Each structure stands twice: as structure tokens, then as C-alpha cells.
């Protein structure tokens, strides 16, 4: 189920970033750089995309 964007916080160190949900799950993460593919993509996909 999709969550509103207000339920997310952006965590970043200037080289990578993650979207952390209020329940503590990381629903989107690009690693190790912003222009790499997402490791976790539950934000955009299904539960099979990981979180």
C-alpha cells in the first residue's frame, strides 16, 4: 500500500540517500551513489522490491 510522502524522511551523507518511513523501514535506497540503481525500491514497486 502506498504511503503519503509526508511519512518519509530523507537520510543522506551527500553521496547516497535513503527514504526512511515512520515505521522504520527503508523503502528506497540508492547505493553507493545517487546515480546508481536503487537497492530497495518498495516505494516504487511491490513488496518483492525489498524494504
* 25 located within any domain: yes
The model's pTM is: 0.69
Count of structural domains, the chain: 1
* 32 located within any domain: yes
3-class state of residue 6 by DSSP: helix
pLDDT of residue 6: 93
Domain span at residue 31?
5-45
* 19 located within any domain: yes
| Higher per-residue confidence, 45 vs 3 | 3
* Residue 9 confidence (pLDDT) above 90: yes
pLDDT of residue 40: 75
* 38 located within any domain: yes
* 24 located within any domain: yes
Please name every residue paired with 30 in a beta bridge, in sequence order, or none if there are none.
17, 38
Q: What are the tens digits of pLDDT across the range 10-42?
A: 999 988 888 898 988 888 888 888 888 878 777
29, 22 Cβ separation under 8 angstroms: no
Amino acid at each position: 500500500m502506498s504511503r503519503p510522502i509526508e511519512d518519509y524522511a530523507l537520510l543522506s551523507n551527500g553521496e547516497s540517500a535513503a527514504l526512511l518511513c515512520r515505521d522504520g523501514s527503508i523503502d528506497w535506497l540508492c547505493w553507493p551513489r545517487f546515480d546508481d540503481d536503487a537497492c530497495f525500491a518498495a516505494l516504487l514497486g511491490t513488496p518483492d522490491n525489498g524494504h
